[in-house]
């Protein structure tokens, strides 16, 4: 079910074009946003999170138009947002910070707020750090606190800008479990540079470059873009193909088939590189 | 055993009114003492409730002095919490303002050209401090959490105006106290109030078009230039700039700024196009 529609979004910062006529539909479930640095991911997420108005174009989320101030407020009541730089106040304790954001989210009753704070701390595994000041939390814990504040009030639309940055493997796994649970009933849009996150947790992946969506589909479909172009070989591949030496001592190549190359199934990363990367020298189209 | 859980202690324990350390003491005792264990209700729901109450006392932060004051003055708890989180409402900001003003007062008292120095300092400083307060009341770069704030239903003109008022009030009050403590004609103490109000309202009005720091720097800068020019010129000009006619002019300009601010207030919402 489509819950968010974006049409012809444009946003410029001075001479830089951050969004250049972006069209995107997303629905209930987890959608991952991939793209190189400066592609416009953060700008897109900020527009959807009502923190920034696009110069042009239309957004409709859960039937609400953020260009209209009433509908924008209504949308904010159903929204959770983790910015790329959350800027959590360093001198607030984890619980006090969440309590503050809960007030911003109009949870007025102190008892309800405390219960909600406790719930989200539990969700991200920070219950035992409730009284620790933000500045004394580790980077990964701070990141989890950022996710926790986005979950306050049980939002329908969850927008997360690089939520898995700095998480250790165990936390990454717990985060995936949490997000996929949320994705059963809610619309989750997250940006990431980790293609493993996308493969593990997103039903849909969108690749943006230069402020436009250049791919939208299943992660498997993204991987398939590199079908028949990923090889394993014992000998070092020649030419300018992209390759690296694996832990097993053989070579993995994306691009032209090495002399003794055997085709292997492509990964999401292969598909992504195929889609975006300049065609490796020596390959023919 | 030296003590047992009596009825009074048990009641306090059940109410959740014990301090966390005493709760732990009771728990430890009950584990060890069969007699007391029998007297403590072991119903699961009750245990849950008690533990939640204890957890709440652990979680609840002591309110900051500012929040405590705001609550004392009758604001609802949630509103006090919102305003107390205003970046410029940290004690450090007030300490800095007080230090600047104290320095100005001291300089005015010791200065060779006492009256002139006082005039200079107050014309330049007093109206700029509230503008600085406004500039750091919301939004980037003063509020590091501005992105998160922007995406919440509280974001927008109401929050901005609450915060601006909360910082301008104390800032102006400190200016009045400092002015009263300085040598020089009494009217100086009040002469800067209308210009200061104009600058604050003007900054907010301009912030509906420009980024807030730019708006504050622009108006504050214009003021500093004018004030420097005036304070080094003849007393006649000073009268022209602070006399009744000039004050009336500031009042009119301030009314215009307030009207513009009222009409364009929705542009203070970061999600609104400019
Ligand atoms: N506030 C801003 N002022 C000026 N330029 C900006 C601003 N925000 C973004 N840009 C520019 O817009 C473009 C898109 O930036 P954006 O932050 O959306 O990229 P991104 O895809 O999130 O990149 P990253 O992966 O590095 O986070 C970049 O060229 C960036 O320099
Ligand atoms: Mg980004
Ligand atoms: Zn006993």
Q: Using DSSP, state whether A213 is helix, strand or coil.
A: strand
**Same-domain pairing of B217 and B137:** yes
Q: Is residue B2 part of a domain?
A: no
pLDDT digits (tens, 9 = 90+) for A109-139: 999 999 999 999 999 999 999 999 999 999 9
**Same-domain pairing of B109 and B223:** yes
Q: What is the pLDDT of residue B243?
A: 79
Which residue owns the Cα nearest ligand 1 atom 29?
A: A38
Which of A23-27, A208-212, B246-250 bottoms out in mean pLDDT, i.e. has the lowest? B246-250
**Same-domain pairing of B135 and B42:** no
Whether A164 is in the pocket of ligand 1, judged by its Cβ within 6 Å, is no
pLDDT digits (tens, 9 = 90+) for A136-188: 999 999 999 999 999 999 999 999 999 999 899 999 998 999 999 999 999 99
Tokens of A145: 């606190």
> Could you list the residue range(s) of the whole structural domain that residue A119 is in?
87-152
pLDDT digits (tens, 9 = 90+) for B87-114: 777 777 778 788 888 877 777 777 655 5
Q: What is the pLDDT of residue B176?
A: 85
d(CA B172, CA B97): 10
Mutation for B interface: A11, A42, A51, A61, most B CBs within 10 A: A51
Q: What share of chain A is helix, strand, coil (3-state, %, to 5)?
A: 35, 30, 40
Which residue, B224, B14, B4, B269, is CA-closest to B121? B224
Q: For position A39, which CATH number holds?
A: 3.40.50.300
Q: What is the mean pLDDT of chain A?
A: 93
- Per the structure, the count of domains in chain A is 3
**Same-domain pairing of B18 and B137:** no
Which residue owns the Cα nearest ligand 1 atom 1?
A: A13
Backbone angles phi, psi at A78, to 5 degrees: -115, 20
Q: What is the pLDDT of residue A112?
A: 94
Let me know: does B182 contact B104? Beta carbons within 8 Å. yes
Whether A41 is in the pocket of ligand 1, judged by its Cβ within 6 Å, is yes
- CB atoms inside a 10 Å sphere around CB A145: 27
pLDDT digits (tens, 9 = 90+) for A244-268: 888 888 999 988 888 889 999 999 9
Q: What is the pLDDT of residue A135?
A: 95
Q: Which residues pair with residue A158 across a beta bridge?
A: A80, A188
> What pTM did the predictor assign?
0.86
**Of all residues in chain A, what percent carry a pLDDT higher than 70?**
97
Complex ipTM: 0.92
d(CA A211, CA A255): 26
> Could you list the residue range(s) of the whole structural domain that residue B175 is in?
67-268
Mutation for B interface: A46, A50, A160, most B CBs within 10 A: A50
Under the banding of pLDDT at 50, 70 and 90, the label for residue A284 is very low
Interface contact flag, B59 A86, Cβ < 8 Å: no
d(CA B31, CA B52): 20
- Per the structure, the count of domains in chain B is 2
Q: Where are the beta strands (DSSP E) in chain A?
A: 2-13, 16-27, 29-34, 56-61, 79-82, 157-161, 187-191, 204-209, 212-217, 230-233, 242-245, 251-254, 262-263
Which of B114-123, B153-162, B252-261 bottoms out in mean pLDDT, i.e. has the lowest? B114-123
Q: Which residues pair with residue A206 across a beta bridge?
A: A33, A216
Q: Using DSSP, state whether A19 is helix, strand or coil.
A: strand
Q: Is residue A72 part of a domain?
A: yes
């Amino acid at each position: 079910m489509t819950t968010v529609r974006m049409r012809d979004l444009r946003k410029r910062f001075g001479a830089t074009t951050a969004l250049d006529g972006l069209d995107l539909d997303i629905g209930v479930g987890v959608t991952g946003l991939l793209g190189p640095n400066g592609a416009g991911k953060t700008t897109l997420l900020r527009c959807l999170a009502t923190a920034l108005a696009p110069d042009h174009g239309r957004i409709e989320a859960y039937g609400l138009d953020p260009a209209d101030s009433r509908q924008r407020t209504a949308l904010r009541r159903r929204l959770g947002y983790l910015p790329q730089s959350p800027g959590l106040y360093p001198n607030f304790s984890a619980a006090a910070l969440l309590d503050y954001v809960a007030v911003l989210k109009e949870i007025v009753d102190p008892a309800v707020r405390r219960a909600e704070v406790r719930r989200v701390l539990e969700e991200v595994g920070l219950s035992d750090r409730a009284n620790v000041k933000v500045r004394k939390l580790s980077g990964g814990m701070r990141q989890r606190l950022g996710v926790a504040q986005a979950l306050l009030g049980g939002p329908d639309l969850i927008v997360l800008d690089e939520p898995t940055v700095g998480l250790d493997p165990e936390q990454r796994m717990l985060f995936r479990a949490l997000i996929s649970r949320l994705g059963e009933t809610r619309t989750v849009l997250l940006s990431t540079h980790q293609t493993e996150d996308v493969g593990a947790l997103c039903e849909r992946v969108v690749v943006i470059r230069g402020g436009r969506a250049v791919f939208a589909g299943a992660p498997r479909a993204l991987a398939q873009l590199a079908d028949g172009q990923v090889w394993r070989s014992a000998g070092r591949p020649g030419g300018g193909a992209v390759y690296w030496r694996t832990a097993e001592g053989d070579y993995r190549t994306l691009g032209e088939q090495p002399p003794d190359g055997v085709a292997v199934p492509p990964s999401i990363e292969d598909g992504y590189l195929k889609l975006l990367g300049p065609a490796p020298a020596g390959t023919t189209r | 055993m030296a003590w047992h859980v009596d009825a009074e202690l048990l009641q306090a324990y059940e109410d959740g009114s014990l301090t966390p350390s005493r709760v732990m003491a009771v728990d430890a005792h009950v584990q060890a003492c069969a007699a007391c264990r029998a007297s403590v209700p072991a119903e699961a729901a009750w245990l849950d409730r008690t533990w939640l109450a204890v957890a709440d006392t652990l979680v609840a932060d002591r309110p900051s002095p500012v929040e405590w004051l705001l609550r004392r003055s009758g604001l609802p708890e949630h509103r006090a919490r919102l305003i107390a989180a205003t970046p410029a409402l940290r004690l450090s900001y007030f300490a800095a303002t007080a230090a600047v003003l104290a320095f100005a007062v001291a300089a005015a008292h010791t200065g060779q050209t006492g009256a002139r120095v006082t005039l200079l300092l107050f014309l330049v400083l007093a109206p700029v401090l509230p503008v600085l307060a406004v500039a750091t009341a919301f939004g980037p770069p003063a509020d590091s959490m501005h992105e998160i704030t922007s995406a919440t239903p509280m974001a927008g003109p109401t929050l901005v105006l609450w915060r601006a008022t909360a910082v301008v009030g104390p800032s102006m009050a400190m200016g009045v106290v400092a002015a009263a403590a300085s040598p020089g004609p009494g009217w100086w103490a009040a002469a800067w109030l209308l210009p200061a109000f104009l600058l604050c309202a003007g900054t907010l009005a301009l912030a509906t078009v420009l980024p807030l720091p730019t708006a504050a720097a622009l108006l504050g800068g214009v003021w500093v230039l004018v004030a420097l020019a005036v304070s080094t010129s003849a007393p006649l000009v000073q009268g022209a700039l602070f006399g009744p006619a000039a004050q009336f002019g500031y009042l009119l300009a301030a009314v215009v700024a307030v009207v513009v601010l009222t009409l364009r207030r929705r542009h203070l919402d970061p999600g609104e196009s400019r």
